[in-house]
Chain A
Amino acid sequence: MNIIVCIKQVPNTTDVKIDPVTNTLIRDGVESVINPFDTYAIEEGVRLKERFGGKVTVVTMGPPQAENALKEAISLGCDEGILVSDRKFAGSDTWATSYTLSMAIKKIGAFDIVICGKQASDGDTAQVGPGISTHLNIPQVTYVKKVEDIKDNKAKVERMMEEGYDIVETPIPCLFTVVKEINSPRLPSLKGMMRAKSAKITKWTADDIKADPKSIGLDGSPTRVVKIFTPPPRKGGEMLKGETADIAREIVELLKDVVI
C-alpha cells in the first residue's frame, strides 16, 4: 500500500508571541516543529504500513529548513521525504498550497491513501487536506478517528462527530484528515534517527512538479487577508452572592431576560 502523508512545519505554539503592532506572529527565534496534528497523520501512516505493508512517503511544501521536519518524520518510521520548495510558492494561501501539494502527489505517482492532520496549528483553517483531495479528484474523509480496515479497494473509517462518530466506507485512493484521538504518536527510534540522518530528501521546484505559474504563490492565491487582530479579552461573568435559594431565583430571572 502506498501511503502519502502531507505535513507542515509550524512555529512551536508553546512559545509563540504576537506582535502587538502588526498583530502577526513573531516568527524570529521561534523553534519550528512538525504541526502537532500532522504527527498523528505520520503515526497513522506508519501504522497502516505496519498493518498492511507498503511504503510511507512524507511530503511538505515549505522553505529549505522544512527538510528537518521531513527527516524527523523519517526517524518516526516514514520511508521517504519530499520537499517541495521554490521562491515562487511564497505567499500561497490554502488554495494554492493544496494545488501545489496535489501536483507533487501526482508526480509521486500511484498511491492508495493520502493522510493529513486535520488542520495546522498556525493557520487553523483545516482547508488544505480537503483542497488536496479536490485537486486530485479523489474522495475525502475528514476528522478520521479510526481506520477500521482497508481491503478490496475500500477503506472503512470512523469519522469523529460532535456526538459520537460516523462509520464511512470509501473507495481508495482517497484522502483522510485525522484527529488526535486516532492514535498516540510514538517517539523516534535510534535506528530511525540514524536512517533520517543519512536519508536523502528529494527536492522539487515548481517546474519539477509542472505547476501552472498562475496557480501557485501569491498569484495563485485568491485569499486576501484584510485585517488581523487579537480579539478583545472576554469580560468576566457576573457573580451572584447570597443564599443559595436567592441565587437560584435570581438566575431564573436573569435567564428569562437573556435567553427567552
Chain B
Amino acid sequence: MSQHETTAWWGLGSGILIWLFLLMRFTDAGTIVDLPPAYAVETYVQMIVLWILASVVPAVLAPKHSQRTDKDERDRAIDALGDRLEGYVVVIAINALVVHALARATYTDRIPSVPIPDLGSTPALIFALLTTLLLADAVKQAVVLWQYRR
C-alpha cells in the first residue's frame, strides 16, 4: 500500500471519528440540542485542532526521504479527481441546505405535517455546515481509495 493510500485511509477514518465527536457534542438522542455559545465555540475549536492533528499525523509518520512519499502524475491525477468530486459534494450539500431552508419557510405553515427539521438555530446550522465539510472530505478520501484499489 502506498503512502498516499495509507494517508487516504487515515483521512477517512479520522474524518468519521471527528464527525462522531461532533454528533456526540451537538445531538442528544438524535436531536440537535441548543448548545450554549461558549460550549459551541469550544467544540468548534476542538474540532479544528483534531482535524489539524489528523492531517499532520500521516506526514509526521511517513518514512523520511522515501520515494514512496513523493507524488507522481497518477497520485496527482487521483488527488485532482478527489478534489473535484469534493467540490461537487459541497455545492450539492449547500444547495440542499438552501432548498431545505426555503422549503421549510414556504411549506411548514401550510402543511404542518411535513416533517422538515429546523436548521434555523445556530447549533443546527453549524452542525449542518460542518457535516457538509466532513462529508465532502470523506467522499474525497473514498474516491481516492477507490481509484487506488480499482
A and B interact physically? no
